[in-house]
Amino acid sequence: MTPHVKWGIAGVVVGLILLGFIPFWLAGLLIIAAIAIPAGAWLMLDDSQRRRYREIRRRQRGQIRLAARRSVRRELP
C-alpha cells in the first residue's frame, strides 16, 4: 500500500471516529475531503502524466514482487 493510500484511509477512519465527538456534518465533510482530494489530484493530471505515473507504479510493483521472490528464495534451504 502506498503512503498516499494510507493517508486517505487514515482520513476516513479519523472522520468515522469523530462522528461521535463533533457535529455530524463536520465529520462527513472530513470523510468527503479524504476521498475527494486524491481523486481531484488524479483528475488534474493530463493523459501523459497519468500514463507516466502508471508506468512508474507498475515498475515499482514489479520491483517489490521481485524483491519478495528473492527473499523467499533465500529463506528456502
Residue span of the structural domain in which 14 resides? 1-44
Nearest to 51 by CA among 40, 42, 61: 42
40 with 53, same domain? Answer: no
Say what the pLDDT of residue 68 is.
64
H or E element, residue 29: helix 24-44
Cβ neighbors of 43 (< 8 A, separation 6 or more) are none
Question: In the prediction, which pLDDT does 71 show?
Answer: 64
How many domains are there within the chain?
2
pLDDT score for 4 = 73
pLDDT in tens, 32-77: 888 898 889 889 999 999 999 888 888 887 776 666 666 656 655 5
23 in the Ramachandran plot: left (φ > 0), alpha (ψ -120 to 50) or beta?
A: beta
Could you give the CA distance from residue 21 to residue 70 in angstroms, rounded to a whole number?
Answer: 48
The structure's pTM equals: 0.53
Residues 50 and 26 in one domain: no
